[in-house]
Structure 1
Amino acid sequence: MANIAVLGHGVVGSGVLEVLTSHAASIAKRAKEEIHVKYILDLKEFPGLPYSDRFTKDFNVILNDPEVQIVVEVMGGLHPAYDFVKACLENGKSVVTSNKELVAQKGAELLAIAQANNLNFLFEASVGGGIPIIRPISQCLAANDVTEIAGILNGTTNFILTKMIREQMNFEDALKLAQQLGYAERNPSADVEGLDACRKICILASLAFGTHVYPDSVYTEGITKITLQDVDFADVWGGVIKLIGSVKKLENGQVHIMVCPMFVHRGSQLASVDDVFNGIMVRGDATGDVVFYGKGAGKLPTASAVVADVIDCVKHFKARKYLFWEDAKPNYVADFGSMETSAFVRVSAKDSDTALNTAADVFGKITPLLAKRPVQGEAGFTVENLTEKELSDKLAALEARGVKVEGRIRISDY
């Protein structure tokens, strides 16, 4: 029998208990032994549950029990999750987590502690929820040199953008609907400002390329400034707007990494990923593009991924799974200003002709887009093959000549 403890009995934690309870026999068969939840840590009371007698409010009870071999951390946030996970690894207990913030901020350190103690630190659920992605990158695609990863990594923002595209709902109304349906938190900033997607692309980049990327080194832009006019221009251009997290390995060993809204062409597999679904494209030298698709969050999909990691831990008590990356290196993340980009720009002036003529003068070459529902004085155009710095400089030059930049959205080549 393998004894485990679960830290947290929220949405994911209760889902983990539900999966372990309802699928106990099949899980034991796959793990080759019974998995027993000995403790559940939570400050709240949960009477009337089949496992109510296993709750504790004292983490040290779990830490100091030698029978507990695996600890499942589903509390979320950095503290006290980081302190608890670190203590468990230092005290001989493998850890499974769904906590993307923890892995993105502390992954290199915790993996090093796990390696030093011949333990496992597994986190399949931290990126794709129920979508398998960590295991495929580390195992199934191990024969490839992964060169690029890009994806729709946040279901909340994808739901909002889908409503804007399909139903012409403005951002504020689509966000309100997402909150009513339980897809967005009361404070949605982690989703709509791109922070959640940033943490996930950091984890994927760290895993794929072997060096930790911290979220504060990633250019991150959310969807709060996207308007229905932008959606209209994207349609005219031939695509849709998606919030994309992307990382690319450069020939010099650095990486370009960013999170931002992008025009995605209708022919792309990512363009058809709608509602709360996620899609992650992994580009390998042998496989080409491989896309992973599914619900990126939710109680039972996420719990399923957590329990799969628990089974993996049980099967590898004496044979540590190789999952590791080094800590960050100086200048590993290339300067954002050097990144080459193509972009859509929406501008306004006293009239659209003035806006476009001035833009053509500043950029040299632009491709105007004709909106289906024109707004007086506004115009939209695309530009190609500029560095981010060149683009910013030219947009500043436009402003200096009296043309207001209303919006800027990168153009994807995925």
Structure 2
Amino acid sequence: MIKIGILGCGTIGGGVIKLLQENGNEIEQKMDCRIEIKKVLARTPEKARALGVKDEAITQDPDDIFNDPEIQIVVELIGGIETAKDFISRAITAGKNVVTANKDLIARHGNELYRLANEQNIDLYYEASVGGGIPIIMPMRRTLAANNILSMTGILNGTTNYMLTRMDKDGMSYNDVLTEAQELGFAEQDPTADVDGLDAGRKIAILAKLAFNADVSDFDVTCEGIRSIRQRDMVLARDLGYVIKLLAVAKDNDDGIELGVYPAFVPSRHPLAAVNDAYNALFVKGDAVGDVMLYGLGAGAMPTASSVVGDIMQIVRHINVGSTGTGNDLRMFERQVLPLAESVYSYYVCLMVDDQPNVLSAIAKAFGDHDVSIQSVVQKYAKNNWAELVLVTHDVKKKHIDAALSEIGQLPEVRSIDNVIRVMNDL
């Protein structure tokens, strides 16, 4: 029997307790070893009792877990960064293996915790930190480890994917779908982490560590969110053969790593275009394996608990054969993170202009002066002496398109630049 302590009894903690209770016999049969929850740190003991946790197993003092010699695995599910980091560090120092679902912590301080775990010869697992119930971390650590990972492109935030799906499929505005997502519990009352791309940025930082052996953190990821996406952009994207998704991107280029989160046009024929609602996916390009996509529910109590308990089971196997501490991610190297201004993509540009001669020539000249080549241009409609122009450029560095648009925005014939969105033709 292996005894564990659980830090936190919220949504995910409750899911882990429920899964261990309901599937405990099957788990024991698979491993020939039973997992017992000895202690649960619960800020509100009533929540733990409602889950069937006995009073003697409930504590409000984390030291009851760290100082218990019978507890061999600590499961951190309290969230946040500083307190969680302190708790995990104390658990590791006490010689206890650790499982966490804390993406914020791993993205920010993962490398430091890997080193500490290695020094203590214990396991630190975090499958649930990226993609909820989707097996992503383990494939990156093992199955795909022989590859040079060329790129990873992911839909890693279920809230924004739900919102964009509703805007695309049902014609909802950004404000209306945000309100709906908050009412349904998909989005927090403060949706900043989701809609500004920060949540996805933390996840792609974790994946970049694994794929590129890179000593990076979420601070290295440039994030652009979906606040600027209009329902009109959805319609125009469809007309052009695309779907708008919030993408988290990591590329290993010859001169460094590209990391970013941003909305983008995804070709309708690409597998990522079919990832809808609250589902997540990661599209990986490896030099040996080719293209691989991992897909599933990226959040929720039970999908996330599935990954957490899977990590617990893997550590139990290691404990039983005396091999803990052998699978931690330690070999991280300094890698240059390229400025997003140097990234090269095609762009969709939507302009409102005066409906008069020579407007297009003035715009084309400004683009040409900054080495921006136009692939296509369509006047969608004209009314009251103004017109909507939709342009798609050839591949260009972001700094060049930015410079061109800065000049175009000053042209007297241009009333507004309504949106500028990357077009991902080479996924």
TM-score bin, normalised by smaller chain: over 0.9
TM-score (norm 2): 0.93
Contact 2:4 2:72 in 1 (8 A): yes
Q: After superposition, give the CA deviation of every residue in 1:242-284 in whole Å (9 maximum; x if it has no partner).
A: 00001010123x2011100000001100001001111110111
Structure 1 residues 255-264 or 38-47, which shifts more? 38-47
Structure 1 residues 100-109 or 360-369, which shifts more? 360-369
Q: After superposition, give the CA deviation of every residue in 1:59-81 in whole Å (9 maximum; x if it has no partner).
A: 11111111111011111111311
SS at match of 1:15: helix
Please tell me the residue identity of whatever aligns with 2:108: Q
Measured in 2, the distance between the counterparts of 1:13 and 1:222 equals 29
Q: 1:49 to 1:274 in 2, by over 3 A?
A: closer
Structure 1 residues 209-218 or 268-277, which shifts more? 209-218
Contact 2:14 2:51 in 1 (8 A): no
Aligned counterpart for 2:377 among listed residues 368, 373, 377: 368
Partner residue of 1:30?
30
Contact 1:164 1:231 in 2 (8 A): yes
Contact 2:201 2:218 in 1 (8 A): yes
Q: After superposition, give the CA deviation of every residue in 1:307-366 in whole Å (9 maximum; x if it has no partner).
A: 00000011112213423145562x621122211121111122333876543321211332
Partner residue of 1:39?
39
Measured in 2, the distance between the counterparts of 1:383 and 1:75 equals 46
Please tell me the residue identity of whatever aligns with 1:135: M
Aligned counterpart for 1:270 among listed residues 264, 269, 272: 272
SS at match of 1:377: strand
Contact 1:74 1:97 in 2 (8 A): yes
Measured in 2, the distance between the counterparts of 1:198 and 1:275 equals 19
Partner residue of 2:353?
349
Measured in 1, the distance between the counterparts of 2:275 and 2:382 equals 26
Residue 113 in structure 1 maps to residue 116 in structure 2: yes
Measured in 2, the distance between the counterparts of 1:336 and 1:5 equals 43
Aligned counterpart for 1:401 among listed residues 407, 411, 417: 411
Partner residue of 2:422?
410
Please tell me the residue identity of whatever aligns with 2:302: L
Offset of residue 400 of structure 1: 2.4
Structure 1 residues 13-22 or 78-87, which shifts more? 78-87
Contact 1:153 1:197 in 2 (8 A): yes
Offset of residue 228 of structure 1: 1.1
Residue 91 in structure 1 maps to residue 101 in structure 2: no
Residue 359 in structure 1 maps to residue 363 in structure 2: yes
Between Structure 1 and Structure 2, how many residues are aligned? 412
Q: After superposition, give the CA deviation of every residue in 1:273-308 in whole Å (9 maximum; x if it has no partner).
A: 001111110111111110011110111000010000
Measured in 2, the distance between the counterparts of 1:373 and 1:210 equals 52
Alignment of 1:43-58 (within 5 A): 43-46=43-46, 47-53=49-55, 54-58=57-61
Aligned counterpart for 2:387 among listed residues 377, 380, 395: 377
Offset of residue 164 of structure 1: 0.5
Measured in 2, the distance between the counterparts of 1:28 and 1:79 equals 34
Q: 1:164 to 1:61 in 2, by over 3 A?
A: same
Q: 1:373 to 1:234 in 2, by over 3 A?
A: farther
Aligned counterpart for 2:317 among listed residues 301, 308, 315: 315
Measured in 2, the distance between the counterparts of 1:279 and 1:226 equals 21
Contact 1:341 1:388 in 2 (8 A): yes
Offset of residue 49 of structure 1: 3.9
SS at match of 1:80: helix
Please tell me the residue identity of whatever aligns with 1:50: G
Measured in 2, the distance between the counterparts of 1:326 and 1:215 equals 18
Residue 169 in structure 1 maps to residue 196 in structure 2: no
Partner residue of 2:62?
59
Offset of residue 145 of structure 1: 1.4
Contact 1:232 1:371 in 2 (8 A): no
Measured in 1, the distance between the counterparts of 2:359 and 2:299 equals 43
Partner residue of 2:19?
19
Measured in 1, the distance between the counterparts of 2:237 and 2:257 equals 28
Q: 1:361 to 1:205 in 2, by over 3 A?
A: same
Q: 1:374 to 1:70 in 2, by over 3 A?
A: farther
Please tell me the residue identity of whatever aligns with 1:394: A
Measured in 2, the distance between the counterparts of 1:325 and 1:401 equals 53
Structure 2 gaps, min length 5: none
Aligned counterpart for 1:235 among listed residues 238, 259, 283: 238
Offset of residue 410 of structure 1: 0.6
Query: What RMSD, in angstroms, separates the aligned Cα atoms of the two structures?
Result: 1.8
Partner residue of 1:303?
305
Structure 1 residues 67-76 or 374-383, which shifts more? 374-383
Structure 1 residues 156-165 or 338-347, which shifts more? 338-347
Please tell me the residue identity of whatever aligns with 2:411: R
Contact 2:380 2:387 in 1 (8 A): no
Aligned counterpart for 1:339 among listed residues 334, 337, 343: 343
Partner residue of 1:211?
214
Q: 1:224 to 1:355 in 2, by over 3 A?
A: farther
TM-score (norm 1): 0.95
Offset of residue 240 of structure 1: 0.6
Measured in 2, the distance between the counterparts of 1:373 and 1:122 equals 57
Contact 1:206 1:325 in 2 (8 A): no
Structure 1 residues 41-50 or 108-117, which shifts more? 41-50
Q: 1:400 to 1:308 in 2, by over 3 A?
A: same
Q: Identity across aligned pairs (percent)?
A: 39
Measured in 1, the distance between the counterparts of 2:34 and 2:245 equals 43
Structure 1 residues 377-386 or 201-210, which shifts more? 377-386
Offset of residue 371 of structure 1: 3.8
Q: After superposition, give the CA deviation of every residue in 1:111-139 in whole Å (9 maximum; x if it has no partner).
A: 11111111111010110100001111111
SS at match of 1:306: helix
Please tell me the residue identity of whatever aligns with 2:13: G
Offset of residue 14 of structure 1: 0.1
SS at match of 2:226: coil
Measured in 2, the distance between the counterparts of 1:327 and 1:139 equals 16
Measured in 1, the distance between the counterparts of 2:258 and 2:118 equals 28
Measured in 2, the distance between the counterparts of 1:233 and 1:270 equals 18
